[in-house]
Amino acid sequence: MGILEVKGVGKRFGGLQALSEVTLSVAENSVHAIIGPNGAGKSTLLNCFVGKLIPDTGSVMFDGQSVLGRKPHEINQMGISRVFQTPEIFGDLTVMENVMISCFAKRDGAFRLHPFETVAHEQDIVEQAEQMLMDVNMIDKRRMHAASMSRGDKRRLEMAMCLAQEPKLLLLDEPTAGMARADTNNTIDLLKEIKEKRDITMAIIEHDMHVVFSLADRITVLAQGTPLVEDTPENIKGHPKVKEAYLGESA
């Protein structure tokens, strides 16, 4: 029984069957990659996990509870954090404030009216956020305006924000899309480090095979909205079906 159980999920947009009969299981404390050619339905599938889309058919169970019909913030509070293709951060706030918001969300839940406390006096939150920033080597940037950082740093910050919530499942939507090789490698190192240091399950949607094969414990290949195969990276590499559907296309 995996932490995320997806059964028979289908989603239709007008005349386009974006997803059909998607079934997969993400095991706890593993890194599960979902790959597939463009338009295979990877992002649609991910959006079904986080409450942005509601599938027409099937079920998505997280930690024994259905996520369907819940709002994004509710699903996040259940323990799913998400990293976006282009880093979504609070650009107008400082790096420290960005991480502190995650810490508040973890401590206080979806809403708590606390207009007369002072952020700077919230010792536990400040400490947690500083610790998190140290973990991702960003502590010296804590007073920086988040929007003024490089893309790599923004990605790192977004990751820190997700990790600060100590999620059970971290969803990564093409975390290295549009990155230079060096930044990609840094991201891989960061993810490896996270994987080693923390008890965390990750589901990655990725285009870059290098990233996938360096990180994943298990891979699901999606083509035209349905899973083709699910296996270990070693087996996937040589799989003829995969070559045909995916590697063949890119060759």
Partner 1 sequence: MKFLGLSRKDTRFLIIVILLTLATPILLQPFPEGSGLATFNAGYPDLMQRFAIFGIFAIGFNILFGLTGYLSFGHAAFLGVGSYTVVWMYKLLDYNVIWGLPLAVIFSGLFALLIGYVSLRRSGIYFSILTLAFAQMSYNLAYSVLTPITNGETGLQVYGNDAQVLLGANEPTSPHFFGIVMRENFWEPTFGGWSFTFNNGYYFTAVIAIIVFYISLRIFRSPFGLMLRAIKTNQTRLNYTGINARPYTLAAFVISGMYAGLAGGLMAAMDPLAGAERMQWTASGEVVLMTILGGAGTLMGPILGAGFIKYFENIFSKINDQVLHGWFAFLPDGLEDFLIGVSHFFVGKSWHLTLGLLFMLVVIFLPGGLVEGGQRIAGLFRKKKTTGGGGDPEHHPKETPHVAE
Question: Could you list the residues that contact partner 1 (CB under 8 A)?
Answer: 50, 71-74, 76-77, 81-82, 84, 88-94, 97, 100-102, 104-106, 108-122, 125, 141, 143-145, 148, 161, 165
Query: Which residues make beta-bridge pairs with 225?
Result: none
- Residue whose CB is less far from partner 1, 109 or 240: 109
DSSP state of 242: H
What's the min distance (Å) between Cβ of 184 and partner 1? Answer: 23
DSSP state of 94: B
137 and 187 Cβ atoms separated by less than 8 Å: no
- Residue whose CB is less far from partner 1, 65 or 235: 65
- Residue whose CB is less far from partner 1, 98 or 221: 98
How far is it, in rounded angstroms, from Cα 148 to Cα 188? 23
Structure tokens at 96: 């420290």
DSSP state of 115: T
- Residue whose CB is less far from partner 1, 50 or 221: 50
Q: Residue 35, Cα to own-chain centre: how many angstroms? A: 14
What's the min distance (Å) between Cβ of 134 and partner 1? Answer: 17
What's the min distance (Å) between Cβ of 57 and partner 1? Answer: 25
What's the min distance (Å) between Cβ of 166 and partner 1? Answer: 11
How far is it, in rounded angstroms, from Cα 232 to Cα 218? 5
- Residue whose CB is less far from partner 1, 70 or 218: 70
Helices (H), 36-122: 42-50, 72-78, 95-108
- Residue whose CB is less far from partner 1, 161 or 205: 161
What's the min distance (Å) between Cβ of 236 and partner 1? Answer: 29
Instruction: Report which residue type is found at 81.
Output: S
Phi, psi of 23 (to 5 degrees): -130, 125
SS3 233: helix
Structure tokens at 19: 């997803």
What's the min distance (Å) between Cβ of 46 and partner 1? Answer: 12
